[in-house]
């Protein structure tokens, strides 16, 4: 799977998740007096909406935005709404909520990889999701503190992190190939030595 | 499985039944209603199918590694081609389960690297006992796997044969092929292996533990 595709897939999904984060912020404001499992439920409604279709980008984004906009009647992408996001994050961090916020994170990351075309069925399945979860969390934190126009800093941060992850994958592969080549070289040297000392011959 | 995760995963579970959705003004409400009505059924079946595919995938992967270990030791002997043919069939099985795993979005067991090493070691170790040892290992493992597949077929039939039709066909076909391997093993003097009864008992106990763990972890 090319790094280009993954980068595109993740930024695509990130742009879809953005309105969801936003809706989540509004949901938090309403959910605080209510039970917190409702919060989890509402968030997943939004992401359920996200998962269900394979329509074109624009249509899907439009539908999510429309759904999110129900929750965002008067605000746009204002600083005030983002401040709500910080509060939303802190509510998700309450020990009482950590199991459900973890399961939300894992199902979201699983969906991201699925729609980016991941087909791994071994330990890669776990490492890829762990890496993406790390990227998502750090980028979300950056977004909460971002004050640049249209979140340019956040997008740049995201691209850098994704490039880091790609490089890590490539480096790991190269280390593995180098190791294998080294082992073969050593085996060759051993066979040569055996030949030289005549241990390979049968008298 | 938490309720939230279920609802989130409700949609990908609807294989091949993509209903056209109205625009999202009503979309959210429709989706909630669909999910809540289908929740009970999907809850049982999703968890069950998850486990079934995870453990079967791990099993086929382990069987692959066992045959690889056996070939590494006995590949150049007279019994090499027999083992190779059985190994090729297991490779097909693994490929099929890989596809099913992606299609049903099942998580693989985290013990995969462990089964990699243990399977190879088991295959190579029993092969070092001679060709009868390798055949005894084959007999033991295939008997375990066939028994396990039978349990799964029973469970799926009890739930809903029509709904699980594809999965049932696959598991039945694989069970029949595993039983063939079992018979091939017996034909090639598996019972003449050293300490056959003990070896078989040990290997089957190990398989039960592997199945138990792979279903859960």
Reported pTM: 0.68
B147 labeled binding residue:
no
Q: What is the pLDDT of residue B146?
A: 95
Q: Which of A39, A52, A56 is the best residue to mutate to test the B interface, defined by the most B CB atoms within 10 Å of its own CB?
A: A52
Residues of chain B contacting residue A110, judged by C-beta atoms under 8 Å apart: 105, 107
How many domains does chain B fold into? Answer: 1
- Does B20 reside within a domain? no
Judge residue B198's burial from the number of C-beta atoms within 10 Å of its C-beta, 0-12 exposed, 13-18 middle, 19 or more buried.
exposed
Rg of chain B, C-alpha, whole Å: 20
Q: What is the pLDDT of residue A54?
A: 35
Task: Work out the number of other CB atoms within 10 angstroms of the CB of residue B166.
Answer: 11
Q: What is the pLDDT of residues B39-70, one digit of tens each?
A: 333 555 788 899 999 999 999 999 999 999 99
- Does B159 reside within a domain? yes
Q: Are B83 and B71 in contact (CB under 8 A)?
A: yes
Compute the mean pLDDT over every residue in chain B, rounded to the nearest whole number. 82
- Does B11 reside within a domain? no
Q: Is the pLDDT of residue B100 over 50?
A: yes
- Does B98 reside within a domain? yes
Judge residue A33's burial from the number of C-beta atoms within 10 Å of its C-beta, 0-12 exposed, 13-18 middle, 19 or more buried.
exposed
- Does B38 reside within a domain? no
Q: Are A48 and B35 in contact (CB under 8 A)?
A: yes
B28 part of contact set with chain A, CB < 8 Å: yes
Q: Torsion angle of alpha carbons A71, A73, A75, A77, nearest 10°? A: 50
Average pLDDT over residues A98-119: 85
Residues of chain B contacting residue A47, judged by C-beta atoms under 8 Å apart: 8
For residue B116, give how far its alpha carbon lies from the nearest alpha carbon of chain A (Å). Answer: 10
Residue of B nearest to A106 (CA): B5
Maximum pairwise Cα distance, chain A:
94
- Does B151 reside within a domain? yes
Q: What is the pLDDT of residue B30?
A: 37
Residues in contact with B61: Cβ distance below 8 Å, sequence separation at least 6, in sequence order: B94, B112, B115, B116, B119
Q: How far apart are CA A163 and CA A157, in angstroms?
A: 10
- Does B9 reside within a domain? no
Q: What is the pLDDT of residues B140-159, one digit of tens each?
A: 999 999 999 999 999 999 88
**Helices and strands counted in chain B (H then E):** 7, 0
B25 part of contact set with chain A, CB < 8 Å: yes
Task: Work out the number of other CB atoms within 10 angstroms of the CB of residue A20.
Answer: 23
How many Cβ pairs closer than 8 A exist between chain A and B? 90
Partner residue opposite A67 with nearest CB, options B5, B8, B27: B27
Q: Are B193 and B175 in contact (CB under 8 A)?
A: no
ipTM field: 0.73
Q: What are phi and psi of A201, to 5 degrees?
A: -90, 150
Partner residue opposite A51 with nearest CB, options B4, B11, B110: B11
CB contact under 8 A, A114 and B35: no
Q: Is the pLDDT of residue B198 over 90?
A: yes
B60 labeled binding residue:
yes
- The DSSP element (H or E) to which A16 belongs, if any, is helix A3-31
CB contact under 8 A, B10 and A99: no
Q: How far apart are CA B141 and CA B178, in angstroms?
A: 9
Q: In which domain, by residue range, is A180 found?
A: 121-196
Average pLDDT over residues A130-142: 86
Maximum pairwise Cα distance, chain B:
72
Q: Which of B206, B54, B61 is nearest to B125 (CA)?
A: B206
Judge residue B7's burial from the number of C-beta atoms within 10 Å of its C-beta, 0-12 exposed, 13-18 middle, 19 or more buried.
buried
Q: What is the pLDDT of residues B172-184, one digit of tens each?
A: 999 999 999 999 9
DSSP for B91-127 reads HHHHHHHHHHHHHHTPPPPTTHHHHHHHHHHHHHHHH
Q: Which of B20, B21, B18 is nearest to B29 (CA)?
A: B21
How many domains does chain A fold into? Answer: 1
CB contact under 8 A, B24 and A48: no
Q: In which domain, by residue range, is B203 found?
A: 44-216
- Does A73 reside within a domain? no
Q: Which of B48, B90, B103 is nearest to B174 (CA)?
A: B90
Q: Are B56 and B171 in contact (CB under 8 A)?
A: yes
Residues of chain B contacting residue A119, judged by C-beta atoms under 8 Å apart: 98, 102
Q: What is the pLDDT of residue A139?
A: 83
- Does A79 reside within a domain? no
Q: How far apart are CA A163 and CA A3, in angstroms?
A: 8
- Does B32 reside within a domain? no
What's the pLDDT band for B21 if we cut at 50, 70, 90?
A: very low
CB contact under 8 A, A46 and B28: yes
CB contact under 8 A, B57 and A121: yes
Residue of B nearest to A37 (CA): B4
Q: Which of A41, A49, A43 is nearest to A23 (CA)?
A: A43
Q: Is the pLDDT of residue B209 over 60?
A: yes
Q: What is the pLDDT of residue A118?
A: 81
CATH number of the domain bearing residue B168: 1.20.1260
For residue B48, give how far its alpha carbon lies from the nearest alpha carbon of chain A (Å). Answer: 18
B 136-195: CB under 8 A from A: none
More confident residue, A127 or A28: A127
Q: How far apart are CA B178 and CA A81, in angstroms?
A: 60
CB contact under 8 A, B32 and A37: no
B113 part of contact set with chain A, CB < 8 Å: yes
Average pLDDT over residues B70-74: 93
Q: How far apart are CA B162 and CA B142, in angstroms?
A: 27
Classified as helix, coil or strand, A145 is: coil
């Amino acid at each position: 799977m090319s790094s280009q595709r993954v980068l595109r897939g993740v930024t695509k999904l990130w742009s879809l998740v953005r309105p969801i984060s936003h809706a989540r912020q509004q949901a938090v404001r309403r959910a605080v007096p209510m039970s917190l499992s409702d919060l989890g439920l509402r968030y997943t409604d939004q992401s359920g909406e996200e998962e269900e279709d394979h329509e074109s980008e624009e249509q899907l984004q439009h539908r999510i935005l429309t759904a999110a906009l129900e929750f965002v009647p008067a605000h746009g992408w204002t600083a005030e709404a983002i401040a709500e996001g910080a509060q939303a994050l802190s509510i998700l961090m309450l020990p009482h909520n950590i199991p459900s916020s973890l399961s939300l994170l894992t199902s979201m990351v699983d969906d991201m990889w699925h729609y980016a075309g991941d087909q791994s069925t071994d330990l890669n399945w776990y490492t890829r999701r762990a890496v993406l979860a790390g990227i998502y969390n750090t980028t979300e934190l950056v977004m909460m503190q971002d004050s640049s126009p249209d979140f340019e800093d956040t997008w740049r941060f995201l691209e850098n992190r994704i490039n880091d992850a790609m490089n890590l994958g490539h480096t790991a592969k190269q280390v593995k190939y180098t190791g294998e080549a080294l082992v073969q070289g050593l085996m060759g040297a051993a066979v040569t030595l055996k030949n030289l000392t005549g241990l390979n011959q049968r008298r | 499985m938490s309720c939230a995760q279920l609802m989130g995963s409700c949609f990908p579970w609807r294989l091949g039944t993509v209903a056209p959705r109205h625009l999202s003004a009503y979309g959210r409400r429709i989706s909630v209603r669909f999910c809540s009505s289908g929740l009970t059924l999907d809850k049982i079946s999703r968890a069950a199918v998850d486990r079934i595919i995870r453990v079967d995938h791990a099993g086929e992967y382990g069987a692959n590694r066992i045959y690889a270990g056996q070939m590494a030791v006995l590949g150049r002997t007279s019994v090499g081609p027999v083992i190779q043919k059985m190994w090729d069939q297991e490779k097909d099985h693994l490929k099929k389960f890989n596809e099913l795993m992606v299609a049903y979005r099942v998580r693989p067991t985290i013990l995969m690297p462990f089964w990699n090493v243990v399977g190879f070691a088991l295959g190579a170790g029993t092969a070092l006992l001679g060709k009868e040892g390798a055949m005894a290992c084959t007999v033991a493992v295939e008997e375990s796997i066939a028994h396990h597949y039978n349990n799964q077929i029973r469970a799926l039939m009890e739930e809903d044969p029509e709904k699980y039709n594809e999965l049932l066909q696959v598991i039945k076909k694989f069970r029949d092929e595993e039983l063939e391997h079992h018979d091939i093993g017996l034909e090639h003097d598996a019972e003449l292996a050293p300490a056959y009864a003990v070896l078989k008992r040990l290997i089957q106990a190990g398989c039960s533990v592997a199945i138990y763990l792979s279903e859960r972890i």
